[in-house]
Structure 1
Amino acid sequence: MPSTLAALLCLGLCLSQMTSSTKHTLLKPIIWAKPSFIIAKGRPVTIWCQGFPEAVEYHLLFKEQLFALKRPKSCDKVTFSIPAMTLHHAGPYRCIYLSGEHWSQLSEPLDLIMTGMYDTPTLSVQPRAQVTSGENVTFHCHLESATNTFFLLKEGRANPLQQTYGKNGADFSLSPVTPAHRGTYRCFGSYNNFAWSFPSEPMKLFVAGSMENTSPVPTETTFSDEKDLRDLCPSTTETRLHKEFASWDLTAQNLFRIGIAVLILMAMVGLLVKSWCSRKKTQAQLTEVSSGILGEGPEHKDHSTRGSGHR
């Protein structure tokens, strides 16, 4: 029995450490930029980082190095302001937060892009800007200044629609078009992924056809200088997102605890069965020995009597 208790105690301590490490696995924060991740040279931009209410400190990393740190004043997110966008600020950002003595996972990367480095490209469309669903459409972006990369963006999308390489120009094919391609397009020229030219003049594409699935997808990509009107309290969507994360985390922890309880119960049952079998085996051996001794007694006495009479 002492060995059984020692085994259960060891098992409990090991599982307790596993539960503790699982509990402190923090989810990654969310990072975004306002008014957009595409910022004109000299314009201000704000980087937002959102974690959980238990976070006591946020670190903003730029190119994997500490760029700034901040303690939250309220709610579950902080802001990092860049008063004037420069080439030195363009690049990949991540954020991370501290809760208790544990750091969260790194956020997804945020690529901050500066525009206004080169001349303004021109954007044209062939065969025309008003087409019918099913036709082939090609956008041509041209820039006199030497460059090697061109980007085509559609308003309403969070990322570039296409990226093409070329010296002074590039073609972007949309074939065949559908009503979902309807919208406003711009193009940029670039020498790298974080420093772009001025945006081209907007080009509107009209596609005649069914109106199904033509509603734009909400996104943070804009070309305006609108200020962020949200306060530091979580929005409905972000609060719901974090509640879902918390629910998933709690469900995982509950399942892990149930698994631990089942393992402990199985271990206890196994040890009890082993102890019962050992006792039964010992009792059987004692019974066999006792039976042997009792069975030999009379026979031994008879042999002794015969020997004495013979003498």
Structure 2
Amino acid sequence: MGPTVTSLVYIGLCLDWAVRAQMGPPPRPTLWAISSSVVSKGADVTLRCQGHLGSDRFQLWKDGELREEQNASWQQADFLLRNVDDWKDARSYSCRSGQGPLWSEFSDALDLVVTGAFPKPYISVLHGSPLDTGATATIRCDMLPQTSFQNYSFALLEAKSLEPLQQQSAAWNKVGFSLPSVRPEDTGNYSCIYYRKTAPYRGSHPSNTLELTVLGQLPKPTLWAQPDLVVSPGANISLWCSRPKLSSLGEVNFTLWKLGTHEHLQQQISGGLWTNFILPSVRPKDAGSYSCTYRENIASARASIHSDYLELVVTGSLPKPSLSALPALVVEPGIHVTLQCRQPPQTFLSGLTFTLLKMGTSQPLQRQSPAGTSADFLLLSVREQDSGNYSCFYHRKMAPYVVSEASEVLEIWVTDALLKPSLSVWPGQEVASGSNVMLLCQGPRWSSRFTFYKEGIINTIQHEAQFLLTHVTPKDSGNYSCSYQPGTSGNLRTQQSDPLEIRVTVPSNILLIALSCVSFLLICLLLLAFLGLQFTPIGSLHRESLRRVFCCSCLPQGVCPPHHLETPTDESVYTEMARGTPREPSVSYFCPVLYLEEKPQTMGIVLDHF
């Protein structure tokens, strides 16, 4: 990079920084501790500074003094404090981020509390445990008598992570933390500490663990199926059950249920947030509504409520229905679309329930139990997200619960602009004159009309996606494109494909001229040979005479030998021939020479060139 370019880059950076400086400092970053701002003495803790977009420099400050600076990407930086001490590390921290010469404002202060300096407090819950759902829990934290309790604050912690849940300044040597309207998910283990209000933030040992139990059912889990809700007989299905993340829960017992049965189907113990139940080689009798629950794997054994029911369909017992759309498969946003699911005419079944499905959706969209043989599912004021693949099926409302096959998939498009097509050519973009060329316009399956263009001008409009050019000539060379649109939605905009250039070539003119010349010369030779044999006695001609007869008429003037004979001959013959044969005009090309030689018992025609 030359000095001029370097100077320009620096000038650009300076201008950019000047503009940024006029706009004010960047937004302040955020500072937090991983995993908690309350740590045990001797532990390691990470302080993370999250800056604004484009931040590439970070500073960590302790008690108003710069402690560390580093360059980092991804708009954040991690500062590691090893083997923390309750004197030098239990301080107030902040950070700031920068880009170029500009620095942000400081983040909010983070007070790092290091435990282990004082005796642990005593923790208790008023009114005992367990508590009913909706009750108010009060957790009290009592410190040992101190000479100056006004200098301390209390913190209620989640017992395992030491994450602060609430903080209060001490008005006495004890405080009460209130949890209003508790829910089952508030069940868990709690502890508390007290610590100095001013730096260094030295804290007590954590109290003993308090187990709080809230009666009632746990939050409901979620159930979903893989690979799909509508399957053929013999398929393997996985039903996944997941629960909310609750700090109070360890291992739980997941249970799978089927509506209409009194006993559970499967159970699994897991310490994770989800588990899966396998239904191998399903049959029509496996169709139905499924749900799942989870229960604590401890003595209290709190259980969750049931998940939403999942409708599993095993097809194949009855003929598949037909599914149609009105007014069209492709519509503009805001249009009402009716999807009609109709059972086959040969079934004549009554008491059926029709179900509408959409691929990618875990639950059926709609259900109907009409009196007739079809059901109309109405999609009101459709939007772009209503686009997709739909199908339907039907089944008996009462036992035996036989189910039909799923209908053919119907693709619905909600759009105000059709997707761009693509154009391809066979056998290639460069073809010989006289060949046939096939153009193929590729669009969605619901395309019904295709328009082909040459140089942007409409060439043809047809219902087929293939357009044949027969016996092409150089005038067919040019740029071609195509577009498509549904026949029932002519008001929708169409887009032309990217242009495709076709080149039509012809054979070389030099080769054609050469072939024509050779053909003409051969005809000339045959004609001259025929005329010479018809008017001249072969035995009375010598070599030079024959050369003059058969050659001189087609050679340029002055090329033939002089007009004389080596042996006296009958002059009348030549005179008669000269009178009977017109003189050919001079030309500028060579002509083969034909010699006729008389030999004993034979007559030969010898070709040579002059």
Give the TM-score of the pair, scaled to structure 1.
Answer: 0.55
Corresponding letter in the other structure for 2:214: V
Secondary structure of the residue that 2:134 maps to in structure 1? coil
Cα deviation for residue 198 of structure 1 reads 0.9
Question: 2:268 is matched with which residue?
Answer: none
Q: 1:54 to 1:166 in 2, by over 3 A?
A: closer
Partner of 2:188: 183
Displacement of 1:130 in angstroms is 0.7
- Please give the residue correspondences for 1:159-170 in structure 2 after superposition, counting only pairs within 5 Å: 159-170=164-175
Structure 1 residue 202 corresponds to structure 2 residue 209: yes
2:50 corresponds to 1:50: yes
Given that 1:141 and 1:170 are in contact with CA atoms closer than 8 Å, whether structure 2 keeps it comes out as yes
Residue number in structure 2 paired with 1:232: none
- Counterpart-to-counterpart distance in 1, 2:245 and 2:162: 8
Structure 1, residues 166-202: CA drift from partner, whole Å, max 9, x if none? 5443333434434453322111122326322111122
Unpaired stretches in structure 2, ≥5 consecutive residues: 1-15, 221-242, 248-610
- CA contact under 8 A between 1:48 and 1:79: conserved in structure 2? yes
Structure-1 residue corresponding to 2:347: none
Query: CA shift at 1:105, angstroms?
Result: 2.4
Distance 1:17 1:69 in 2: 21
Q: Answer yes or no: is 1:111 the counterpart of 2:111.
A: yes
Partners of 1:164 and 1:215 lie apart in 2 by 33
Secondary structure, aligned partner of 1:132: coil
| Contact persistence 1:31–1:108 (CA under 8 A) | yes
Amino acid at match of 1:139: I
1:96 touches 1:103 (CA, 8 Å); kept in 2?
yes
Provide the C-alpha distance between the structure 2 equivalents of 1:18 and 1:78, rounded to a whole number of angstroms. Answer: 26
> Is 1:82 equivalent to 2:81 in the alignment?
yes
> Aligned partners of 2:139 and 2:20: how far apart in 1?
56
Q: Which residue of 1 aligns with 2:585?
A: none
Show the counterpart of 2:91: 91
Decide whether aligned partners of structure 1 residues 164 and 108 sit closer, same or farther in structure 2, where only a CA change above 3 A counts: closer
**Cα deviation 1:272-294 (Å, max 9, x = unaligned):** xxxxxxxxxxxxxxxxxxxxxxx
Deviates more, 1:55-64 or 1:204-213: 204-213
- Distance change (3 Å), C-alpha of 1:50 and 1:217: farther
User: SS in structure 2 opposite 1:68?
Assistant: strand
The alignment of Structure 1 onto Structure 2 pairs a total of residues equal to 202
Specify the SS of the correspondent of 2:93: strand
Residue in 1 that maps onto 2:126:
126
Q: Is the 8 A contact 1:164 1:171 kept in 2?
A: no
CA distance in 2, matches of 1:57, 1:137: 46
Aligned to 1:62: 62
Residue ranges of structure 1 left out of the alignment (5+ in a row): 1-15, 219-311
Alpha-carbon separation, structure 1, partners of 2:46 and 2:26? 25
When residues 20 and 52 of structure 1 are mapped into structure 2, their CA distance, relative to the original with a 3 A threshold, is closer
Post-superposition offset of 1:43: 1.4
SS at match of 2:124: strand
Let me know the Cα RMSD of the aligned residues: 3.3
Retained in 2: the 8 A contact 1:43–1:84?
Answer: yes
Mapped to 2, the partners of 1:22 and 1:183 lie a distance apart of: 52
Query: How many angstroms apart in 2 are the aligned matches of 1:71 and 1:178?
Result: 45
**Offset at 1:81?**
2.1
Structure-2 separation of matches of 1:45 and 1:196: 16
Relative contact order: is structure 1 or structure 2 higher (C-alpha 8 Å, sep ≥ 6)?
1
Out of 169, 177, 181, the residue aligned to residue 172 of structure 1 is 177
Q: Residue 150 of structure 1 contacts residue 166 of structure 1 at CA under 8 Å; is this kept in 2?
A: no
Residues 37-62 of structure 1 show CA distances to partners (whole Å, capped at 9, x for unaligned) of: 11111212121223257434321112
1:115 partner amino acid: T
Partner deviation per Cα, 1:1-57 (whole Å, 9 max, x = no partner): xxxxxxxxxxxxxxx999654556422223222232111112121212232574343
C-alpha distance in structure 2 between counterparts of 1:177 and 1:157, whole Å: 21
Considering fraction of residues, name the structure with more helix: 1
Moved more, 16-25 or 102-111: 16-25
C-alpha distance in structure 2 between counterparts of 1:180 and 1:105, whole Å: 38
Which of these two proteins has the greater Rg computed from alpha carbons? Answer: 2
Structure 2 distance, partners of 1:121, 1:17, is 54
Which letter maps to 1:160?
L
Change (3 A) 1:173 1:47: closer
Q: With structure 2 as the length reference, what TM-score do the two structures score?
A: 0.30
Cα-to-partner distance string for 1:83-102 (whole Å, 9 max, x where unaligned): 22122222321111221121
* Cα distance change, pair 84–170 in 1 and its aligned pair in 2 (3 A): same
Q: Hey, what's the Cα distance between the residues in 2 that align with 1:162 and 1:48?
A: 22
Q: Note if contact 2:17-2:101 (Cα within 8 Å) is conserved in structure 1.
A: no
Counterpart of 1:150 (choices 154, 170, 189) is 154
Partner Cα distance (1:94, 1:152) in 2: 23
DSSP 3-state at the match of 2:117: coil
